[in-house]
Amino acid sequence: MPAFNTLDDLSADSRVLVRLDLNSPIEDGTPQDNRRFERHAETVRELAEAGHRVVLLAHQGRPGRDDFTSLGGHAEILADRVGRDVGFVADTYGDEALEAIDALDAGEILLLENTRMCDDELPEASPEEKAETEFVRTLAPLFDAYVNDAYSAAHRKHASLVGFPLVLPAYAGRVMETEYEANTAIATREFDGPVTMVVGGTKATDVIGVMDALDDRVDRFLLGGVAGELFLRAAGHPVGRDVGEMDLFDEQWERNRELIESVLDERGDAIRLASDLAYEGPDGERAEVPVDDIGEKETGYLDVGATTVADYEPAIRESDAVFVKGALGVFEDERFADGTVGVLDAIAETNCFSVVGGGDTSRAIEMYGLSEANFSHVSIAGGAYIRALTGEPLPAVETLEAAAERRRD
C-alpha cells in the first residue's frame, strides 16, 4: 500500500484545497462530460458532505492549444455529477479568488480558474521551487489541508501538484487512492496464474516501451493497433507502413525498430500477433484478409480480424490478470470495433483481475454498452498510467508520500 495519508486522516471542519484532473476533450469550446467528472465527484461530494470548505484546482489543455480554455463549463458538469452547487471564479489567486474563498461556508464548493493560466504553474521544477512560487505562497495560508486527487496528472511537476503538499498537510483523494492501487498492481501484485497484456492504440512508441519494461511481469502480450502492425512488419509481413495520407507507422517504426526487433527476438514466444486484419472494402463495408495473404500493403488496416479475436479469447480466459493498454482497432467507427470490443467482452466474462487503461480504450466500454462493473478497474489516466506501468516514479505521488513521512516524524 502507498505510504500516503488519505481522506480518512483529515481533521473535521477543514478548509481544503483539492487538486482534480478535469482535463477533457473540448468541442466548440465546451468540455465534454467524461469519466473524470464522475470519479472526482465522489471525492468532492465526500468532502462537502463531511462539512469541509472545498476549493478545487484543475487544469484544461495547454497554453497555445485549442483545448486551453476556462473552467466555467467544467464547474457546471461537476455540479451535476456531485449533486451540489459548485461555484466558479475566473481567477486563481488574485483578489477575486481570495474573496470567493473567504466567503465560503461549511460544505460549500468552489472551483478556481484553470491553473495553467498562472505563470507559476507550468514550468517543471522541484517541489521546493514550486512551494516558493507566488501562486502557492498566496493560496496555501488560506487552507488547513491539501488533497491531491489528480493521479492522472501526477507525472507533472507543476505547482498545484507538487508545491502545495510541501507546505500543507497533504492527503490523497479517493481517485488518487484507487488509481494508484490498480495501476501499480502489475508491478507490485503477485498473481497465481498467467498475466496477459493487451497492447494496441496509436501511440506505439509508448506501448513498446511498456512491453520492454514489463517483460518479466507479463506472460503474454496480445497485439493489435499500430504496435501490432509494427510487430508484424518486424516479423516480415509487408504491413505497418504508411499508405496514402497516413503518418502513423513509418516514423514510429524508425524510432522503435531496434527495440521491436529485440523484444520480438527475446520474447517471441510470449507475443501473439494478429493473423488477420480488417479494412474498408470497396463499398465501404468491413472486409478482412489473412495476414499471410497480404502481398503488399495498399490499404490502411483498421482492426484485427475475427480469427485473431477468436485466437486471443482463450488466452484471456486462462489469465489470472489482464491489463489493457490501447484499442485493437479504430473502434470509434462501429465497423472496426470488433477487435477491441471482442477482447473487452472476453475480459468482462472472466473473473480475472483486470485493468483497462488510457482514456481512449476506456471510452469503448461506454460506447458499446459494456458494464464497468465487469472490470476490476477502468483507469482515467493516460500518461500517468504508462509511467506507472513502466515503473517510472510519479512526482506528485512521491511528494504526497514525503508529506506523510514528515507528519509521522
Chain contacts with ligand 3PG (rule: CB under 6 A): 21, 23, 62, 152-153, 156, 382-383
302 three-class SS? coil
Helical axes 174-183 vs 35-49, angle rounded to 10°:
130
Cell of 115: 491553473
CB of 21 to ligand 3PG, least distance (A): 5
Helix ranges, 53-163 (H):
72-82, 95-102, 127-131, 134-139
CB of 310 to ligand 3PG, least distance (A): 34
Cα separation, 118 vs 293, in Å, equals: 56
Cα separation, 273 vs 229, in Å, equals: 8
In terms of residues, how long is the chain?
409
Cβ closer to ligand 3PG: 68 or 191? 68
CA distances from 409 to 164, 256, 406 (A): 19, 46, 5
**Across the strands, what pairs with 356?**
324, 378
Helix ranges, 287-394 (H):
306-317, 338-349, 359-367, 383-390
CB of 18 to ligand 3PG, least distance (A): 15
CB of 84 to ligand 3PG, least distance (A): 24
CB of 60 to ligand 3PG, least distance (A): 9
Q: Which residue is nearest to ligand 3PG (CB)?
A: 23
Cβ closer to ligand 3PG: 67 or 250? 67
- Let me know: does 302 contact 243? Beta carbons within 8 Å: no
Cell of 211: 512491453
Cβ closer to ligand 3PG: 263 or 396? 396
CB of 61 to ligand 3PG, least distance (A): 7
Cβ closer to ligand 3PG: 60 or 340? 60
CB of 168 to ligand 3PG, least distance (A): 22
Buried b (16+ CB within 10 A) or exposed e, 46-80: bbbebebbbbbbbbbbeeeeeeebebebbbbbbbe
Cβ closer to ligand 3PG: 278 or 396? 396
Cβ closer to ligand 3PG: 21 or 177? 21
Helical axes 250-267 vs 204-213, angle rounded to 10°:
20
Cα separation, 276 vs 253, in Å, equals: 20
CB of 204 to ligand 3PG, least distance (A): 18
Cα separation, 159 vs 157, in Å, equals: 7
Query: Looking at 20-136, which runs of residues are DSSP E strands?
Result: 26-27, 30-31, 53-57, 87-88, 109-111
Cβ closer to ligand 3PG: 14 or 160? 160
CB of 62 to ligand 3PG, least distance (A): 5
Cβ closer to ligand 3PG: 206 or 229? 206
Cβ closer to ligand 3PG: 152 or 252? 152
